[in-house]
Structure 1
Amino acid sequence: MTGRLSVKLIRRCLQHPLAPLCALFGLLLLVPMGARLALGWSNPLGYLSDLASASLLTVLLYRRPWWLALPVLLVWSLLTLVSAELVSAVGRMPNIADLHYLVDPQFVGNSTGGGLAHPWLGLALLLGLALWLGVQRRGRGAQLPALPRHSWAAPVVLLLVHGTVQYLKPSDADQWQLFNLPHQALATATGQAQIQVEDWLEGDVPELPVQMAGLTQLDLDGEPLLAGPGQARNVLLIALEGIPGAYIQPNREALRSHYRENLMPRLSAWAERGMNTPDYVLHSHQTIRGLYAMLCGDYDKLDNGTPKGIELLTQNQRNQACLPAQLRQHGFATHYLQGAGLRFMAKDKIMPHIGFDATHGLEWFSNANYLEFPWGKDDKAFFEGALDYVGQLKKQKKPWMLTLLTVGTHQPYSAPEAYLERFDTPKQAAVAYLDDAIGPFLDALERQGVLKDTLVIITSDESHGIDGVRLASSWGFNLMLAPEQAQLPKIKSGTYGHVDLSASVLDYFGFEPAASLSGRSLLRDYALGREIMSYTNGKLRYHDGQGTLTECDFQQRCRYYSSPGFIADSATFKGQYGGLRARQISARAEGLDRTLLQSPLNLHYQFGSPAIIPLQAQIKDDWADNLIGAQYLEMPKGSLTRVRFTVRSADPQQNAYILLKGKEREQDVALGLPDEMLVTPDQPLEMDFSFANPEPRKAFSFHLLGYGLGAVEVSDFSVITELPGQEETSEEPQDDNAQSS
């Protein structure tokens, strides 16, 4: 009945003299609103944003020639589709820097081809455009009624209402819940203009250097929880891919979180037996950044700049301060094991460089998977293999440190069919599957007596977030199981984060941490709060340690809240600001970004190695099948990037086929190279090319992909970014690691 009524209304609308207006407004409003409802982004401000944008575009395009309005509607449709796809893929909206991809044939082809997460949205946009064109064609030559004289006031009022609500009662929801893409771009431009006006009104106010000691110092002045060094002989550090702190029941209870889903009951039961730190901050997204922070006692970049783990390859001093290197100096055998290949994000180079004696990935495992997963081992198979690895370490006389990294809860998420049937989403199913894998692993460690002489720390590399849970993208967890558990509290008070993990482990053993480490010890109580920062989901957050949390968003506006700690279920909004105070927050982040290197210029990164890499018959995934670790690099404005690589066939009987792709913020960038390049046993592939960076590039990744029946050796993959005219000054690398020119 409702469907028939809707059809009748549409027909009546299309037969009306205002049919072109009806078709245009329907396309611009009904499709995005319907998509918002279907995708679960049902925030009132989001619907208001859709209504405001639809009103504004309708006023601008109504009664315009079809050939003038059509390109605008095509771009709008593509932006709508791209926004939904990018949120589904990586949990963020596009930004202004992404807009140039609309003129990139490769990107447009990929975006409108197969593999879309929401093909129904593309179909709805296409049908809406076709309907609008049909109405335009039928009414061609007719004089359309004019809109009321003050119709332009409607979008202005709606935008002002949206901005006023955001100002008076800021929402903690994600950006895509509150804005559509055109509105977000308009809000960004308005925010930047407002800041410029505020700067002008402030005049020549001197910008004093911000104090960084509270963020960078090593603080071991707290009261120790243990009377002396810990009794454990070994260290086991387990990093669970993407798991937020809200999944651990003691954390939810301690912070009185409204989140109630109990996806990890096994791990929560173990958490009841250990020391939990509910207010535990993850400083950034991406595995390599989380691993660097926890293993090297330093903030990684609080933006999308080159990960510090990669920058660390340019020097041979700060890497000796990282936890594996320090434990190795104290006689530990240090091991790293992950369930995926090592080349992605250059972990095959970074992990040995920071002190791991043995670094293993997917190639180490001999046990079969329980299900197919593009990144590598499913979690059950991974922990079964990890248990064997621990068994081998137990046979050694030396104390050991083992770091484990799972991958099953990384998108596209890995779970058997039985789990997928039990849960609403693949993410939930994958989390439950991980819980059922780590539970038996910990049980086995206990049966084998490992927990009696091993300090076990379970945490996550990053957080994949939870819709509707405040700060979930920054909310991590730290579960510590120690032989002297009776002396440790069940709930550790205070604010801590990944930057504290290295100092905490060294403090447990009574070792003197390197002076270049940052952070506090989880094994101490502190009378005063501390400064701490994070950058997740496009928001920069800073807690001053004195009860104020500040959050700066894409509009370059900072809101501040009364919050005793960093992670909390709710906080009291106090006000907002821009201008000098906002720049001071950014200056702190920029200061932390430069603790390792002052500039991304004049660095020669070498991602090649003598390793023999077996090829697959076909390329399945641009990320998981990458042959090199040159991901998420930063290239300053006005610089020139030179790339040189050599690929050799390692099989005298087989040819190989090689592709090189560039991606910026996960979106394809044309490099002007052939789609496919042949490597024969007699003729290696050697290339040397450059490209300019007229605007800053961040999160730029190279994807060297290959397929065939043989194997290859990527003996050289050099990336050099420098200012034009300085090309001849760059030095050649001296070894397999990156070198500073």
Structure 2
Amino acid sequence: MNKTYRALTHPLASLVALAGCVLLVPLVMRLALGWSEPLGYLSDLGSGGLLIALLHRRPGWLVLHVLLAWSALTLANIELISAVGRMPNPSDLHYLLDPQFVENSTSGGFAHPWLAALQLTALVLWLAVQKTSPPPLAPRLPRHAWALPTLLLLAHGAVQSWRPSEADQWNLFNLPHQLVTAGIAAGQERAQLWLDGGEDVLTPPMEGLTRLDLDGQRLLAAPGQARNVLIIALEGIPGAYISANRQALKSSYQEDLMPRLSAWAERGMNTPDYVLHSHQTIRGLYAMLCGDYDKLDDGTPKGVEMLNQTQRNRACLPAQLRQHGFSTHFLQGAGLRFMAKDRIMPHIGFDTTLGMEWFTKPAYLDFPWGKDDRTFFEGALNYVGQLQQTDKPWMLTLLTVGTHQPYSAPEDYLLRYDTAKQAAVGYLDDALDSFLAGLERQGILENTLVVITSDESHGLDDIRLASSWGFNLTLAPEPLPRIKPGVHGHVDLTASVLDYFGFAVPTSLSGRSLFRDYATGREIMSFTNGKLRYHDGKGTFTECDFLQRCRYYASEGFIADQATYAGQYSGRRARLIKARAVALDQTLLPTPLNQRYQFGSSERIPLPAQVSNDWTDNLIGAQYLEMPKGSQTRVSLNIRAVDANHAAYISLKAKEFERDVPMDLPTDVAVTSDQPLVMDISFDNPQARKAFSFHLLGHGEGAIEISDFSVVTELPEQTDQPEYLDDMQDDSEAQSS
């Protein structure tokens, strides 16, 4: 006891406790999480050291508030990276001051609870020292104590400028340092614009990114012999998992997590340099099925925007094949309402759109997102058997969910692999192999064009561009080259399938055909893990980060294990790269203003007994919307219980970047068939909102009907239009019929 007291009252105790909070804890966390880039440690040492110099011997109340803010930022950073793979940005920070947000965000526990416990322990120790050894008793630091941490931060910036790292931001920065650096960069950008005479309107040439290019040499002398089309989208699988791709690109990644799919790849055509343009399933599906880039930012997915159009959707692959006599089908192992796939898929031409409710056989695993992969593919094989009984050629698109976080696999798989993620991938590999073998036994592969790909990539640690690295394995009745050279991506898939059959390809589509060889390179872009990437088709690959700083490399293709660093730039050249992405974002709509969406319908939606997850239990498809600065959003609700004998209990939540937004929204409101929930809600958007989602949650017995869930975003002076709800309701009824 005496030793503890002497330690707490030691003249250096206050300094040591402060260093523990702002220096030791971040370093331990970085080491434990495996974020082991040297620049990251340099960022922690520099930022923590500077904070020590600023806070040492300051009043306890001031230091306490700073330490609480520092701890909150550190924990928020770790939690957001664990959840969605990105660091917080300044628009997130005001939520930390909102009690409701903090309560809701932590109600389900922390992703790394022991890290929160470590922070709390350090704070408690510091408070104990304050009680026994007040700051004035501590010795003064040397007059220039701030100089060393400042030099460390300057060295960090110099290394990044001289030889920027390709690692993720959280490997290179702690959050306060990253925010300050981003703020300085934004200020420099504004100053440069002012010196240049104001914002210039950049209009980069776009034809290389948006044109339909069918000028290559055909791989097949005649239209393909296949009768049917089967597209299989595997949740989150990167191209590195296919051995043929690793060998072709001489990848340093050597784990063989999908040996069975790699064996099938030896029998088909592989495209090693295959680019995924963005994250999120709905964006990947749009790009592959509609021949267009989805937004290269966090704006409203184009699939949702297309609900307001009646022309561009007709150019999508299912609509085109339907015009040529195919029956078109979409089947996934999850609920359809998430990301509005229940509305988007019929709108782009699928005759039949089915989700988790189609599967009646008990699942082998309980999985929050839907059906496990073995259950899904066994059901899919039966579905294909049903299609074979019809006279029409068919197109079927399958979407798995089993390799989505949180990963799940049977116990014997978990024992065979080091992580749950690896076990889930192995489980998928076996399930897919059984499915393909079943197709072969039934003779279906003899007359079916099969394309196996992924919606997005869940990435790989320390593998360059893994978040953008996709794959395309094509099995066809005709012999095809085992390796397809050149750069391709999801934007090419629709044109490729139509070109295979010799069908006319709509000129509104973008991309090249996988069934042609091209003598020249092509322009292509992606936006994953917060980095905007562009290849000019002439040997230069460019990658731009949050600082609006672009690094360029000599690289023949897009996906490469290594590339020769050639330099970096910012300013107008960097803005030109961003301007290309902005132009691609606007291929459907010139502006996100005056957007009107109707997510309601006459469908009866069964209710769960309890709500367990804001995402998997969401009853509406209004996700990842964009609301411009200065606009106003109005939401109209009309929800009733179908069964006269049972009430439903309805709650509405709002989230931005997958974090709760405090709003005055209905919570656990009782709804009956006689007393529906009818509400009109409006809120202003003083700052731009992106990745904004509504989560309509309900529990009880029976079912509900959401006859109206309309979302309108427009400028405040446009809001005097009372007829908009009637118009939208008419559109909704027309679509549902």
SS in 2 for 1:457: strand
Query: Unaligned 5+ residue runs, structure 1?
Result: 1-6
Distance 1:420 1:61 in 2: 48
Residue 515 of structure 1 pairs with residue 507 of structure 2: yes
SS in 2 for 1:735: helix
SS in 2 for 1:390: helix
SS in 1 for 2:158: helix
Map residues 449-598 of structure 1 onto 2, 5 A cutoff.
Answer: 449-485=443-479, 488-598=480-590
Moved more, 194-203 or 152-161: 194-203
Confirm or deny: 8 A CA contact 1:608 1:718 kept in the other structure: yes
Distance 1:587 1:10 in 2: 61
Q: CA, structure 1 residues 206+80, in 2 after alignment: closer, same or farther (shift >3 Å)?
A: closer
- Deviation of 1:680 after TM superposition, in Å, equals 1.9
Q: CA, structure 1 residues 624+112, in 2 after alignment: closer, same or farther (shift >3 Å)?
A: closer
- Deviation of 1:132 after TM superposition, in Å, equals 0.6
SS in 2 for 1:348: helix
Confirm or deny: 8 A CA contact 1:82 1:111 kept in the other structure: no
Residue 289 of structure 1 pairs with residue 244 of structure 2: no
Confirm or deny: 8 A CA contact 1:383 1:438 kept in the other structure: yes
2:114 corresponds in structure 1 to 120
- Deviation of 1:11 after TM superposition, in Å, equals 8.9
2:663 corresponds in structure 1 to 671
Confirm or deny: 8 A CA contact 1:619 1:705 kept in the other structure: yes
Q: Deviations over 1:288-329 (max 9, x none)?
A: 000000000000000000000000000100000000000000
Residue type of the alignment partner of 1:166: Q
- Deviation of 1:14 after TM superposition, in Å, equals 4.5
Q: CA, structure 1 residues 582+12, in 2 after alignment: closer, same or farther (shift >3 Å)?
A: farther
Confirm or deny: 8 A CA contact 2:553 2:566 kept in the other structure: yes
Residue 308 of structure 1 pairs with residue 285 of structure 2: no
Residue 267 of structure 1 pairs with residue 261 of structure 2: yes
1:444 corresponds in structure 2 to 438
Q: Deviations over 1:671-714 (max 9, x none)?
A: 21243211123211111111111100000000000001221111
- Deviation of 1:738 after TM superposition, in Å, equals 11
Q: Deviations over 1:56-95 (max 9, x none)?
A: 2112221111111112211111111111111111111111
User: How many residues are matched?
Assistant: 731
Distance 2:362 2:37 in 1: 44
Q: CA, structure 1 residues 396+158, in 2 after alignment: closer, same or farther (shift >3 Å)?
A: same
Q: CA, structure 1 residues 507+61, in 2 after alignment: closer, same or farther (shift >3 Å)?
A: same
Confirm or deny: 8 A CA contact 1:333 1:401 kept in the other structure: yes
Residue type of the alignment partner of 1:98: D
Confirm or deny: 8 A CA contact 1:14 1:23 kept in the other structure: no
- Deviation of 1:603 after TM superposition, in Å, equals 1.5
Q: CA, structure 1 residues 524+75, in 2 after alignment: closer, same or farther (shift >3 Å)?
A: same
Q: CA, structure 1 residues 630+208, in 2 after alignment: closer, same or farther (shift >3 Å)?
A: closer
SS in 2 for 1:736: helix
Residue 215 of structure 1 pairs with residue 209 of structure 2: yes
Residue 693 of structure 1 pairs with residue 685 of structure 2: yes
1:257 corresponds in structure 2 to 251
- Deviation of 1:145 after TM superposition, in Å, equals 1.9
User: Residue 33 of structure 2 is aligned with which of 39, 42, 48?
Assistant: 39
1:4 corresponds in structure 2 to none
Residue type of the alignment partner of 1:723: L
Residue 735 of structure 1 pairs with residue 727 of structure 2: no
Distance 1:372 1:436 in 2: 18
Residue type of the alignment partner of 2:535: H
Residue type of the alignment partner of 2:499: D
Residue type of the alignment partner of 2:401: V
2:173 corresponds in structure 1 to 179
Moved more, 23-32 or 323-332: 23-32
Distance 2:9 2:428 in 1: 57
Residue 387 of structure 1 pairs with residue 381 of structure 2: yes
Residue type of the alignment partner of 1:85: E
1:3 corresponds in structure 2 to none
Residue 90 of structure 1 pairs with residue 68 of structure 2: no
CA RMSD of aligned residues (A): 1.8
Distance 1:176 1:508 in 2: 44
- Deviation of 1:15 after TM superposition, in Å, equals 4.8
Residue 319 of structure 1 pairs with residue 317 of structure 2: no
Distance 1:250 1:321 in 2: 33
Q: CA, structure 1 residues 700+207, in 2 after alignment: closer, same or farther (shift >3 Å)?
A: closer
SS in 1 for 2:470: coil
1:245 corresponds in structure 2 to 239
Q: Deviations over 1:104-127 (max 9, x none)?
A: 222211344442111111111111
Distance 2:214 2:666 in 1: 56
User: Residue 607 of structure 2 is aligned with which of 605, 609, 615?
Assistant: 615
Distance 2:666 2:326 in 1: 48
- Deviation of 1:142 after TM superposition, in Å, equals 3.9
Q: CA, structure 1 residues 113+20, in 2 after alignment: closer, same or farther (shift >3 Å)?
A: farther
Distance 2:688 2:192 in 1: 25
- Deviation of 1:484 after TM superposition, in Å, equals 0.4
Residue 721 of structure 1 pairs with residue 717 of structure 2: no
Distance 2:706 2:65 in 1: 44
Q: Deviations over 1:479-504 (max 9, x none)?
A: 0000002xx21111000000000000
Residue 420 of structure 1 pairs with residue 427 of structure 2: no
1:54 corresponds in structure 2 to 48
Q: CA, structure 1 residues 725+330, in 2 after alignment: closer, same or farther (shift >3 Å)?
A: same
- Deviation of 1:141 after TM superposition, in Å, equals 6.9
SS in 1 for 2:717: coil
User: Residue 343 of structure 1 is aligned with which of 324, 333, 337?
Assistant: 337
1:192 corresponds in structure 2 to 186
Distance 2:406 2:68 in 1: 29
Distance 1:207 1:436 in 2: 52
SS in 2 for 1:535: strand
Residue type of the alignment partner of 1:379: D
- Deviation of 1:196 after TM superposition, in Å, equals 3.3
Q: CA, structure 1 residues 9+310, in 2 after alignment: closer, same or farther (shift >3 Å)?
A: farther
2:703 corresponds in structure 1 to 711
Map residues 638-653 of structure 1 onto 2, 5 A cutoff.
Answer: 638-653=630-645
Q: Deviations over 1:183-235 (max 9, x none)?
A: 11011112223333444555579655210000000000001111010110100
Q: CA, structure 1 residues 9+422, in 2 after alignment: closer, same or farther (shift >3 Å)?
A: farther
Instruction: Output the TM-score relative to the length of structure 2.
Output: 0.97
Confirm or deny: 8 A CA contact 2:10 2:133 kept in the other structure: no
Q: CA, structure 1 residues 11+174, in 2 after alignment: closer, same or farther (shift >3 Å)?
A: farther
Q: Deviations over 1:229-283 (max 9, x none)?
A: 0110100000000000011111011111111111101101101111000000000
Confirm or deny: 8 A CA contact 1:236 1:454 kept in the other structure: yes
Moved more, 567-576 or 159-168: 159-168
Distance 1:76 1:204 in 2: 36
Moved more, 117-126 or 100-109: 100-109
- Deviation of 1:29 after TM superposition, in Å, equals 1.4
Map residues 1-16 of structure 1 onto 2, 5 A cutoff.
Answer: 14-16=8-10
2:22 corresponds in structure 1 to 28
- Deviation of 1:182 after TM superposition, in Å, equals 0.6
1:433 corresponds in structure 2 to 427
Confirm or deny: 8 A CA contact 2:277 2:489 kept in the other structure: yes
Confirm or deny: 8 A CA contact 2:57 2:135 kept in the other structure: no
Query: Unaligned 5+ residue runs, structure 2?
Result: none
Confirm or deny: 8 A CA contact 1:83 1:94 kept in the other structure: yes
Residue type of the alignment partner of 1:736: S
Distance 1:346 1:142 in 2: 61
User: Residue 228 of structure 1 is aligned with which of 222, 242, 258?
Assistant: 222
SS in 2 for 1:725: helix
Distance 1:341 1:250 in 2: 34
SS in 1 for 2:716: coil
Confirm or deny: 8 A CA contact 2:8 2:132 kept in the other structure: no
SS in 2 for 1:177: helix
Residue 362 of structure 1 pairs with residue 360 of structure 2: no
